[in-house]
Structure 1
Amino acid sequence: MTDSAATRSAGDFARHSPYTDPGSHRALVAAIAPEPRAIHRAVTATITHYRAGEAPPTPVQLADVDRRWISSILDAAAERADGPLDTDRAPSQRVGGCCRDHSLLAVAILREHGVPARTRLGFASYFEPGFRHDHVVVELRREGRWVRFDPELGDDDGFDFDFDVHEMPSGEGSPFETAAEAWLAHREGRTDLADYGVAPGHDIGGPWIVHGYVLGDLAHRMRTELLLWDGWGIMDAPRRPLTAEAIELADRIARLTVAADSGDDAAEESLAAIWRDDARVRVGRTITTASPSGRFGTTDLVERTTRWS
């Protein structure tokens, strides 16, 4: 990749995707300063985590988790409370969501200000000792490099983190491992991934979820920031063994992702080619959605509708 191509690639992340475009709520997003502390205040005031919020989600908030588009999330936020996104809201006035939604709103704020930003899928060790929870964080482009931060974490949250929450370390074994790093560690015998998943004791965990997040992280890298419970292509049900074909594909994507993260432009181009040419990973018009609200449906990404079965 030439220097101009590398610059253009970073510039792509400064433009909204269909998922981060705030639509009629552009002024709300533009009013938030494009820096991690301000973003943290805004995204946590707007969105409550459906499993880890201050209060259990209402039925409406549980349905919110499938809103998918920032414009839809902000429709709900504006209906439930007046004022800017960083206004204090009662828990019942917030929009139900998860880490993906906190991070996607953070990316929307950054992109609205012209800052290249993207979401990353992986596993965090800082919520519960001895366990890595599936998680989504943000990377923004600053001074020619990607800087990682978690918009759910703030200076005044009462946690004593041993890392800078606004510029997190990266790499295998870091507080947040990308799905690609976790997958390669598993494939090279450094972990069995038994302590990776939704939560300790939850039936969604281990190699299956990490495999899915390798593919999901590629989709997010290609500015197709789907829900964590969406399915497409070669992804399979969590209780079925991964096929040899699925494992080989994840091996290839994970190696290229780690290389691209280290600045290998050829690897970045290869990831783009896989996304463009390989129907096993490319997201089409229709996907499946297995919502944590208990619903299963087929989603049309063009019409922005889900037919629930």
Structure 2
Amino acid sequence: MVGVGLIGGSLALALRQAGAVREIIGVGRSRENLETARALGIIDRIGTSLADAAHEADVIVLAVPVAAMQPAMRELALHLAPATIVTDVGSTKRDVITCARQHLPEHLGRFIPGHPIAGAEKSGAAAAFANLFQGRNVVVTPLPENETEAVSRIASMWQTCGATVNTMSAQKHDEIFAAVSHLPHLLSFALVEDIAFRANAKELFSYAAGGFRDFTRIAGSHPEMWRDICLANRDALIREIDTYQSQLDRLRGMLEQSDGKSLEEVFGHARTARAEWLAGKQDS
């Protein structure tokens, strides 16, 4: 497990709980976090290096920020056994696949790109829990070169953790998540940033309540990780910002015209769409 944070640690715990692994070796930048992971029973031992762990692994999971994929793959390329399956949990896929094509060209048959649609605002091994993926979606974006057996093993790994596995192209993945994940995070960060730097920020925050808390919950997410995600999916995210800006301009026009009827129609449609989305999630 390369990166034993919330996602990597939770995956390790889920697989251990299911009895699906013999031994889990943890590799990462923070010795303190790895010691925590070992103490919590998330990993069996700490790998002295990525090279050391790669020699012994049947499956390697790259659970690092997307900007860290390139150096990780560069190092892995020197030490991978031919039969080892490599997968990732990155929130963007086209950039990760580009890295794999650059650094793992001889191993593309057994590199399976993936993205679990699960998370929380907390990070690190201490935040990990085994049920994180129960009832959640995992997207796999197979490559033309992928071996069927390797794709099946990664799909089975996630299903063992309680997840539903879906497949799609990397481009479609990045476009979808720019709209429903990356843009909402950007907006949440932007609102808190705007309020925080006003002269009367302290007063504004003192009156903020449930609505502000709900809207800004995801602004508590890891800044480094979200910096990397936004930059990695820059083009799709910029398109979503432009679309959202058009919607704000439309709403501004309604306010300027005191067009209450149109405002209510927008709010009503949004409320209905959200209710249908929630009902669909409960039924699935």
Calculate the TM-score normalised by the size of structure 1.
0.23
Q: State the TM-score, normalized to the length of structure 2.
A: 0.24
Relative to its length, the structure with more strand (as a share) is 1
Q: Which one has the largest radius of gyration?
A: 2
